[in-house]
Amino acid sequence: EVQLVESGGGLVQPGGSLRLSCAASGFTFSTYSMNWVRQAPGKGLEWVSYISSSGNIRYYADSVMGRFTISRDDARNSLYLHMDSLRAADTAVYYCAREQYSSSWDFDYWGQGTLVTVSS
Amino acid sequence: SSELTQDPAVSVALGQTVRITCQGDSLRNYYASWYQQKPGQAPVLVIYGKNKRPSGIPDRFSGSSSGNTDSLTITGAQAEDEADYYCNSRETSGHPVIFGGGTKLTVL
């Protein structure tokens, strides 16, 4: 059974940093591209970042470019999102999501999400 | 970058058919995928590649495409279909992928 389990969310002050993790199981993690998608309270889904299966290609939404870094550790079957210079607008539930096929840009499995709250 | 536009809310009587639309320039080149999200839960992929359903998705869910508009149709809506529905697609410029704003479906 495919499982994605996020962790690392919490309350952080504006300007602070946080690292989110996503533990994958039930599939060959190293062969899939992965994404982070967030959802602000009461709002819609917003794609945040992408990393290819090889780890060589990374994309970011304009809203997080230069502040967030996506990475992966295939030995640990884990995906990460390092977030710096956090703002109130970054408050959201953060989901990790698996890309179904290479370059398909549809997400067939999602984690349950981890809540990040940026507030003083 | 372009956008995907969805109606904020749609309602349907129990057992009737409802269509939820997603409009955007990127859909002239790429098909939308559709996600169902119930309160407090993660999104679930229900349609991809114009009209393909992942395993476990009921066949009352179907997709279609015409010009710059893709649609999700639920034929014989059930109470459990009440949820938010989001489309997404590849982007033709800027970001590699975008989401629509979502449609809240109410089953009456």
Could you report the per-residue pLDDT of B3-24, keeping only the tens digit for each?
Answer: 999 999 999 999 999 999 999 9
* Whether the predicted pLDDT of A8 surpasses 70: yes
Q: Rounded to whole angstroms, how far apart are CA atoms A64 and B52?
A: 32
Q: Rounded to whole angstroms, how far apart are CA atoms A108 and A37?
A: 13
In sequence order, the β-bridge partners of residue A120 are none
**Which pLDDT does position B93 carry in this prediction?**
72
Residue B94 pLDDT grade (very low, low, confident, very high; cuts 50, 70, 90): low
- Paired tokens of A22: 């996503």
Q: Rounded to whole angstroms, how far apart are CA atoms B97 and A71?
A: 19
Q: What is the pLDDT of residues A33-65, one digit of tens each?
A: 999 999 999 999 999 999 999 999 999 999 999
Q: Do B97 and A105 touch (CB under 8 A)?
A: yes
Secondary structure class of B27 (helix, strand, coil): helix
CA angle B70, B21, A106 (to 5 degrees): 55
* % of residues, chain B, pLDDT over 70: 97
Which residues 63-82 of chain B have a CB within 8 Å of chain A?
none
Q: Do A45 and B86 touch (CB under 8 A)?
A: yes
Residue the block writes with tokens 């996020």: A6
- Paired tokens of B18: 């409802």
The mean pLDDT value for A70-79 works out to 98
Q: Do A47 and B30 touch (CB under 8 A)?
A: no
* Residue A74 distance to chain B (closest CA, Å): 23
The mean pLDDT value for A18-32 works out to 97
**Which pLDDT does position B1 carry in this prediction?**
58
* Whether the predicted pLDDT of B46 surpasses 90: yes
Secondary structure class of B28 (helix, strand, coil): helix
* Residue B55 distance to chain A (closest CA, Å): 10
- Find the helix or strand (DSSP H, E) in which A37 lies: strand A34-39
- Residue A57 CA to its chain's centroid (Å): 15
